[in-house]
Amino acid sequence: MKFPKPHTLKAIAQLIGCEYVGNEDFPVLGMNEIHVVESGDIVFVDHPKYYDKALQSAATIVLINKNVECPEGKALLISDDPFRDFNKLTNHFKPFQAANSSISESAIIGTNTIIQPNCFIGNNVVIGDNCIIHANVTIYDDAIIGNNVTIHSGSILGASAFYYKNRPEGFDQLVSGGRVVIEDNVDIGALCTIDKGVTGDTTIGAGSKLDNQIQVGHDTVIGKKCLIASQVGIAGCCIIEDEVTIWGQVGTNSGITIGKKAVILGQTGVTKSVQGGKSYFGTPIEESRVKLKELAYVKQIPNIIDQLKNK
| Per-residue tens of pLDDT for the chain, all 311 residues | 999 999 999 999 999 999 999 999 999 999 999 989 999 999 999 999 999 999 999 999 999 999 999 999 999 999 999 999 999 999 999 999 999 999 999 999 999 999 999 999 999 999 999 999 999 999 999 999 999 999 999 999 999 999 999 999 999 999 999 999 999 999 999 999 999 999 999 999 999 999 999 999 999 999 999 999 999 999 999 999 999 999 999 999 999 999 999 999 999 999 999 999 999 999 999 999 998 888 888 888 888 888 888 77
Q: If we measure between CA atoms, which residue out of 220, 118, 227 comes closest to residue 161?
A: 220
- Do β-strands 164-167 and 170-173 pair in parallel, antiparallel, or remain unpaired? antiparallel
Cα–Cα distances in angstroms (integers) from residue 175 to residues 68, 83, 221, 294, in the given order: 26, 10, 20, 44
Same domain, 129 and 190: yes
Contact of 249 with 269, CB cutoff 8 Å: no
Q: Are residues 163 and 212 in the same domain?
A: yes
Residues 29 and 173 in one domain: no
Peptide bond into 6 cis (omega under 30): no
Domain membership of residue 153 (yes or no) is yes
pLDDT at residue 220, rounded to an integer: 98
Position 160 scores a pLDDT of 97
Which of 7, 134, 152, 218 does the annotation list as catalytic?
Answer: 218
Asked whether residue 299 is assigned to any structural domain, the reply reads: no
Residue 80 sits in a domain whose CATH number is 3.40.1390.10
Residue 185 is part of a domain; what is its CATH number? 2.160.10.10
Q: Do 148 and 187 sit in the same domain of this protein?
A: yes
| Residue 40 falls inside a structural domain | yes
Q: Are residues 264 and 287 in the same domain?
A: yes
Question: Do 217 and 266 fall into the same domain?
Answer: yes
Half-sphere exposure of 189 (CA within 13 A, CB side): 16
Residue 174 is assigned to a structural domain of this protein: yes
- Together in a domain, 67 and 160: no
**Co-location of 89 and 112 in the same domain:** no
Residue 302 lies in a domain: no
Report the predicted TM-score, pTM, of the whole model to 2 decimal places.
0.93
Q: Are residues 195 and 57 in the same domain?
A: no
Q: What pLDDT sits at residue 130? A: 98
- Position 175 scores a pLDDT of 97
Host domain of residue 121: 108-293
Residues 121, 43, single domain; the answer is: no
Cα torsion through 286, 292, 294, 295, rounded to 10: 120
If one counts the domains in the chain, the total is 2
Q: Kindly state whether residues 25 and 152 are assigned to the same domain.
A: no
State residue 309's pLDDT score. Answer: 81
Q: Which helix (H) or strand (E) holds 120?
A: strand 120-121
The answer to whether residue 309 is domain-embedded is no
Which residue in 255, 53, 259, 51 sits closest to 163, CA to CA?
255
Q: Answer whether residue 241 is part of any domain.
A: yes
Q: Which residue, 93, 118, 152, sits at the end of a domain?
A: 93
- 35 noted as active-site residue: no
Residues 87 and 122 in one domain: no
| Side chain identity at residue 309, one-letter code | K
The count of C-alpha atoms lying within 13 angstroms of the C-alpha of 59, restricted to the half-sphere facing its C-beta, is: 29
Residue 103 falls within a domain, yes or no?
no
pLDDT at 50: 95
